[in-house]
Amino acid sequence: MSTARLYLYDDAHARTFEPFASTRPISEMRAGTALIRERWMAALGLQGDAFFIAGDRHADFDEPGTRPADTTIPAGAIVVNSRFVPAVPRDPTKVGRMNASSSLWRNGTELVAVRLKDPVGVWQFADGTLPLDEVQVGTGSIGNVDGRWLWDVWDFVRLLPDQLSADIRQVASRPWLEQPPLPTHVTVLGAEPIIVLENVVIEPYVVLDATAGPILIQPGAHIRSFTRITGPCYIGRDVQVMGGDISVCSIGDVCKVRGELSNTVFLGYSNKGHDGFVGHSYLGRWVNLGASTVTSNLKNTYGTVALWTPSGVRDTGMQFLGTLFGDHVKTGIGLTLTTGCVLGAAANVFDQMPPKVVAPFSWGGKPPYETYRADKFVETAARMMARRHVELSDRARRHLMSVHAGRWTVETDES
């Protein structure tokens, strides 16, 4: 494994991926089974902390495993485009040896990563407009990285089935993989790989259906009775699956889920602890869905779904698309969400179906929403995080206060 420093660069296009980009670097988004940062570390065979370059608004972003770049990126560091999602390698150690002599990496004809020849000031990447092909690199070999580009924010959902299948099959092919035998009371369907790692509790009357794709369940997960998990599906560390039908999903660490879930990503530390359908959606971190919150993911016309973006409403070309929930979003009991809905970070909505886009820090039962006071929001966030034994650091508090101060509004961005 190499110890070269890794820098994940959010270009200007990545910085438009709302409702997530205003609260976190795109490299800290889950794509398939892992964060983009984790995927790059594995793809290049690197170890240690990584750094992100995502603009001044994330100077105080504070989550484990990453931190903002200092003023200078040293010679020999590797800078990658965060919008490229590399494939999970079968053997990270082997790819690390292969990549040790490379100075740039391509996917087909597209440049996705470079190793710096000389130190570079972070200011050169400040606005996200500097392309990697203008960065001076050394004279090493050219490496190849398999993977997929994220051209739009909805690609996290669009690419999910293929990414999950590929990721889990790579893990299943590792010769050193060890897993305990499945409990005899588990019902197994299909012939695709099923990987259940140590310290997983699976109660009676659970079905693992690997007919259409593989399944991976990480240590510490607890699968309660009367759950059906249909692959391709990933269940992260310390996740509680409390019953229901979970199909083609990536459930990040320390989440609680129940009910019907389809083609959906949970970034991590979020709750859907009650019944209600959520499909073709993406939940950021620290989201809480009230009982019987329901997303629509298909139009009555069976046409393609349009989605709000900072540059205007766009046709996604997708027939199925539910809701994008920004970090810290809360929904009330029985809330119904329309097809192709965007809920900005820390929005707290209840009672009536909200419009297709709700600005960050909105609060209320119907438009026009009030604005959630920054101090009250931060204290609520701290209490919620403490329930999962996570402390809201002073730095993270500053970050959330900064996000509040720089929040986007629907009126401004649609005008």
Cα angle: 156, vertex 193, 149; to 5 degrees: 20
Residue 36 has pLDDT above 80, yes or no: yes
Decide which of 248 and 2 is more confident.
248
Residue 273 has pLDDT above 60, yes or no: yes
Decide which of 48 and 180 is more confident.
180
pLDDT single digits (tens) 357-400: 999 999 999 999 999 999 999 999 999 999 999 999 999 999 99
What band does 55 get if pLDDT is binned at 50, 70 and 90?
very high
What band does 125 get if pLDDT is binned at 50, 70 and 90?
very high
Summarize the confidence of residues 285-299 as an average pLDDT: 98
What band does 414 get if pLDDT is binned at 50, 70 and 90?
very low
Summarize the confidence of residues 320-347 as an average pLDDT: 98
DSSP-derived secondary structure letter, 2: B
**Measured between alpha carbons, how far is 317 from 321 in angstroms, rounded to an integer?**
10
pLDDT single digits (tens) 134-178: 998 877 899 999 999 999 999 999 999 999 999 999 999 999 998
- Nearest partner of 228 among 213, 214, 241, judged by Cα: 241
Domain ranges of the chain: 6-151, 157-414
| 124 torsion bin: left (phi>0), alpha (psi -120 to 50), beta (else) | alpha
- Nearest partner of 281 among 233, 228, 333, 320, judged by Cα: 320
Alpha carbon 18 to its chain centroid, in Å, reads 12
Cα angle: 202, vertex 281, 203; to 5 degrees: 5
What band does 412 get if pLDDT is binned at 50, 70 and 90?
very low
Residue 413 has pLDDT above 50, yes or no: no
Q: Which CATH superfamily is domain 157-414 in?
A: Hexapeptide repeat proteins (2.160.10.10)
Residue 4 has pLDDT above 90, yes or no: no
Span of 98-107, 123-132, 295-304, 330-339 with lowest mean pLDDT: 98-107
Residue 331 dihedral angles phi and psi, to the nearest 5°:
-120, 150
pLDDT value of residue 415: 30
**Measured between alpha carbons, how far is 219 from 216 in angstroms, rounded to an integer?**
10
| pLDDT above 90: percentage of residues in the chain | 92
Residue 54 has pLDDT above 50, yes or no: yes
pLDDT value of residue 1: 61
Residue 411 has pLDDT above 80, yes or no: no
**Measured between alpha carbons, how far is 262 from 265 in angstroms, rounded to an integer?**
9
User: pTM of this prediction?
Assistant: 0.96
What band does 3 get if pLDDT is binned at 50, 70 and 90?
confident
3-state secondary structure at position 231: coil
pLDDT single digits (tens) 70-123: 999 999 999 999 999 999 998 888 887 878 889 999 999 999 999 999 999 999
CB environment 230-247: b (16+ within 10 A), e (fewer): bbbbbbbbbbbbbbbbbb
